[in-house]
Structure 1
Amino acid sequence: MTSQLFSPDVQQTLDLIGIFVFALSGGLLAVRKNMDIFGICVLAEATALGGGVMRDLVIGATPVVAFTNLGYFVTPLLAALVVFFLHPEVERINRAVQTLDAFGLGLFCVTGTAKAHDYGLGAVSSMALGMLTAAGGGVIRDVLAHEMPALLRWDREIYAVPALVGSAMVVVLIGAGQLTTASGTASALTAFVLRMLALKYGWRAPRAWHRNGSRTSEE
């Protein structure tokens, strides 16, 4: 199966790292929203696992891995506890959290795309589910917290675009019969680097233009 790009132990370790960091971002938003410990745990779980759960439900990979692998379910709870007790310290290392979040984005867009393809989806659908795997949890997090999803906000650095680029690279590699551990890693690193550059230089997606061709000046 093309989705098994790494050995099972390496894959699980990478997954848990990504899940933990995604859960931290969910927990931090819950703290900012003044939620209690239950709310922190819910947002941590939703952020960490939401994208993968939606992907697996779409492709029919049930029961979903988030509920069959205890480590995947428990890891967000550990992150929630870290945030509950140490959220000021976690906020202070926000740059490191963003870096690891970009790592998770790159990893999950690649493995999500490959898994969708394994279940018979075409190139475009696999790309879409790769992006969903990487970014879907953040959308669920924001909706639960009554915020416009960061994915859709013009004033946030691009997030979905790097995931789409990584996913597109995977489907091209699959089509050419060249998806390997090395090429899959390169795809993940491409998404990671794009996200980090977006954070560094403030890259944002363009907004709608007026019909006369000039950009809107509204801020």
Structure 2
Amino acid sequence: MALLEVRNLVKRYRSPDGEEQEVVRVAEFNLNAGEELAIRGESGSGKTTFLQLISGILRADSGSIVLSGEDLTQLSEQERDARRARQIGFIFQSFNLLQAFKTSMNVELPIMLAGGSDRARATALLQRVGLTHRADHFPRQLSSGQQQRVAIARALANKPALVLADEPTGSLDARNATETLKLIREVCRENGAALLLVSHDAATLSEFERVIDFAAINRPQQESATR
């Protein structure tokens, strides 16, 4: 059963000289509940923009993004934010942890923003990623590998149906990259979450049974239009 259905999705950016450039044009994309899928794409190919459109961080210029039966493109920014808080976990390459908050609060905050309160859930997730002993530390006191593990725990805080991972091993050395990827896949399976990961790293992509090239589904029009 399709958890995510994308149809005729288009996103353009306007340059300082007024020209519009298409970055994303995806005619069709589906992801089933609980499925693992990796997307291969080079830097600048638009794959990060694609994830940000799916998550509702960015608004599409046209097309539809149906998640669990609801079209996110028809929602306001506030409604998209609320939907993302409840149903989508996002793992960033640069971690995106809040530096002013301790590790435990970085994991618990998404639960609070979604209107809940479950410190036990945050504690259990930190235990699952092996960071209980770092709960009272600030992100700057953690290694890169530890920060990404906090980000993984945060992404799973609200038991999302979908986890989006944008080059999650890109800032890590080989050993930490291997361990981090294994952890992401394990916690998604344990929580019943679908996983959509984008990467250009061959070692990361080789761990997935299903890999698609972003260039095969993303066909932006090359012509620029000045308005």
Q: Tell me if TM exceeds 0.5.
A: no
Higher helix share: 1
Higher relative contact order (CA 8 A, sep 6+): 2
Normalising by structure 2, we get a TM-score of 0.28
